[in-house]
Amino acid sequence: MKFMPICPTLPYKLLVAFLSRLTLKPNKYPTDNFWRHQLWIITWWNNTKMNRAIILSVIFAVAAGTNFLPRPRLDGRVVGGFQVDVRHVPHQVSLQSTSHFCGGSLLSHNFVLTAAHCTDGTPASSLKVRVGSSQHASGGEFFKVKAVHQHPKFNFNTINYDFSLLELEKPVEFNGERFPVRLPEQDEEVKDGALLLVSGWGNTQSSQESRDNLRAAVVPKYNDEACNKAYAQYGGITNTMLCAGFDQGGKDACQGDSGGPLTHNGVLVGVVSWGYGCAVPGYPGVYSRVASVRDWVKSVTGF
C-alpha cells in the first residue's frame, strides 16, 4: 500500500506536532532532549512506509473528528495452514511489480480480481501477474496488466468496496495449473460455519515453513453480527465485507496474501482485505464479499 502526500513536508510537520503533543513539551525540557526527540521522529518516519500510513491515518482521523480507530492493516502471512500445490488452487495468482506483494484470482482468460488497496495509485504499466506456479518468485508465466478497473466506491480509509479488476494484455491459456475460479450470484449468501479455503504466500510465523511456497488454510465463515461487534472500535464491517476465522484464532490470512482468494466449494466468495493482527483470538479475518459486487464485475468483464 502506498501513501502519496500532496505536500512532501506536510506529513512530517503533522507528525512532529502530533507526537510532540503526546510526549515531550519543548518549553519544559532541555534543548538537547528536545532535539534528540526530533531526531527520533525523523528516523522513525524515514525507516518505514507503514509507520507513516498508520500515524497519518490516526492524525487525519482525529482531525476529522471520527470516533473510530483506522482500519488495521494485515501484516504478512497465512498462519496455521498447509503447503498446497497450485494445481489444487489453479485460480491463484501472484501480483507483482518488482516482486510479489499481493495475491489475486484468475476469473477468465483476460481478467484477475484482487483488492483495490493493492492497486490504489499504481499504474497498470508497472503491474504484472504470475500464473500457474506454486512459488511466487519462479515458475509459471508472467502476464502484463493492460488496465486496472478499481471499484468506483473504494474508500482507502474504511477499506469499503475493496475490489480491483486487472485486465491482462494477452489471454491466459488454461491448463491444470491455471484455471478460472467460479463466481457467486449477486448477493448470494454463505452460511455461518461453512468451511472456506484461503490461500496465498507470505511469512508463516514459523522458521520451519517456507514463505516462498503457496499455502492454504481452512477457516469457517464467521457470523456477521459477531464480527461487526468484534471490530466495533474500528467502525465495524459493511455489507461488502464478510469474516472468516476461529474464535480461538490460530488460522488466518495477512498482508502477503491481500487480494487473494477465499473460496467455498470452488466458488470465489471473498477477497483477502483487512483485519487485526493475524490469527488473533476474537478477531477473524475480514474479506471483501464478492457477491456484493457481482453485477459490477459483470459490467466490467462482460460475464
CATH assignment at residue 92: 2.40.10.10
Q: Which domain holds residue 93?
A: 82-301
H helix intervals, 151-292: 224-230
**Domain assignment present for 33:** no
38-41, Cβ contacts within 8 angstroms, sequence gap of 24 or more:
41/12, 41/15, 41/16
**Domain assignment present for 139:** yes
CB 263 within 8 A of CB 122: no
pLDDT tens digits, the chain, 303 residues: what are they?
A: 433 333 333 343 444 344 443 333 333 333 344 444 444 444 444 444 444 444 444 444 444 445 566 776 554 445 667 899 999 999 999 999 999 999 999 999 999 999 999 999 999 999 999 999 999 999 999 999 999 999 999 999 999 999 999 999 999 999 999 999 999 999 999 999 999 999 998 544 444 445 689 999 889 999 999 999 999 999 999 999 999 998 887 655 654 479 999 999 999 999 999 988 777 889 999 999 999 999 999 999 999
Q: Can you tell me which residue has the cell 484482487?
A: 114
**Domain assignment present for 53:** no
Residue partners of 39: CB distance under 8 A and separation at least 6: none
Largest CA-CA distance found in the chain, in angstroms, rounded: 69
CB 296 within 8 A of CB 150: no
**Domain assignment present for 20:** no
**Domain assignment present for 91:** yes
Task: Give how many domains the chain has, as a whole number.
Answer: 1
Q: Annotated active-site positions, please?
A: 117, 162, 258
Distance (Å, rounded) from C-alpha 97 to C-alpha 122? 10
Sign for the CA dihedral angle at 52, 53, 57, 63 comes to positive
H helix intervals, the chain: 10-22, 31-47, 49-64, 116-119, 224-230, 294-301
